Amino acid sequence: MNIAIVGASGYTGFELIKILLNHPKFKIKGLFGSSGGERIEDIYSSLKGVFECEIEKLDTEKLKTFDLVFLAVPHKTAMSIVKEIYGHTKIVDFSADYRLNQKNYEDFYCPHINPVNLENSAYGLPEIFRDYIKNKTLIANPGCYPTATILALYPFIDYIENDVFVDAKSGVSGAGKKLNETTHFVKDNENFFAYNPIKHRHSIEIAEKTGLNVTFVPQLLPISRGMQISIYAKLKRDIEPIEVLREKYKNEEFIRIFDKPVEIKQVVGTHFCDIFAMKNKNMLFINSVIDNLLRGASSQAVTNANLICGFDEGLGLPKMAFNP
């Protein structure tokens, strides 16, 4: 199948290229950006002699000719493209434009210019919405924090009180390539701090998909990539947390259940989401880790693409962590 990537110069675009170069069914036939004229091997020199390609200026008419289009672009940019190409090609959108209902989206982002396609999209978290995803041609790839949080919470929703606290920590690559004061080396190196607590946009995504009242506090770790989520909730009745996790995810290849707290290092470079949980009387602690650029973005996008194209869900997904 012929694939186009819009926004290939970003971190998630680069990770997507790496996965697709080893995918047996998808072939990259076009890279696009807002201005064009650059070459991907000049932006990422590690691609020299491996994959060399000019980044063309965005052309929605040309995008219609591809079998599948990945949109690794910011919110609002994505919906303006989808508005033009929907119905002509399959689409996996990395942005938030089709993840939320219209009210929640507009409360946390901006006015939506393509609300009709909110009903035509599927939220791309396969372990929960797999059958729904298969029947759609527009997939809203979840955010990285929501992916790790929702997968950790999902098995326990019927067992916990409505109020949950999510303590979330991410590597700096989650903020993207564009430099700002928060992502400056001197700010982040040997430092650790919360940013945009409670009001972060991903809080509404977690709340909408779980139905829970979420207090969400993201924090920035002085590492390049990886994400760890710690969730605290009150149990409504007694359970064995590990047994609940194992039963819910017993058939899921890319969710691993551990009997001790999980670590970022064990998932970086992979599509895995690793989860641990334990209780203290009626209090529940859930712990999950993912690679924010892969399971939180690019490899999850490939999973969704596999599903809507009728391929095996795990085709081409990375399983070996970066170690050491």
Alpha carbon 55 to its chain centroid, in Å, reads: 24
R_g over Cα of the chain = 19
The answer to whether 94 and 301 have CB atoms below 8 angstroms apart is yes
The C-alpha atoms of residue 9 and residue 44 are separated, in whole angstroms, by 8
- Would residue 144 show up in a list of annotated catalytic residues for this protein? yes
By the 8 A CB rule, do 40 and 17 touch? yes
Which residue of the set 53, 110, 144, 273 is catalytic?
144
Query: Sheet harboring 255-257: ordered strands across?
Result: 193-194, 213-220, 160-170, 227-235, 283-290, 273-280, 255-257
Residue 185: what are its φ and ψ, rounded to 5°?
Answer: -55, -45
As a residue count, the chain comes to 324
Which residues are known to be catalytic? 144
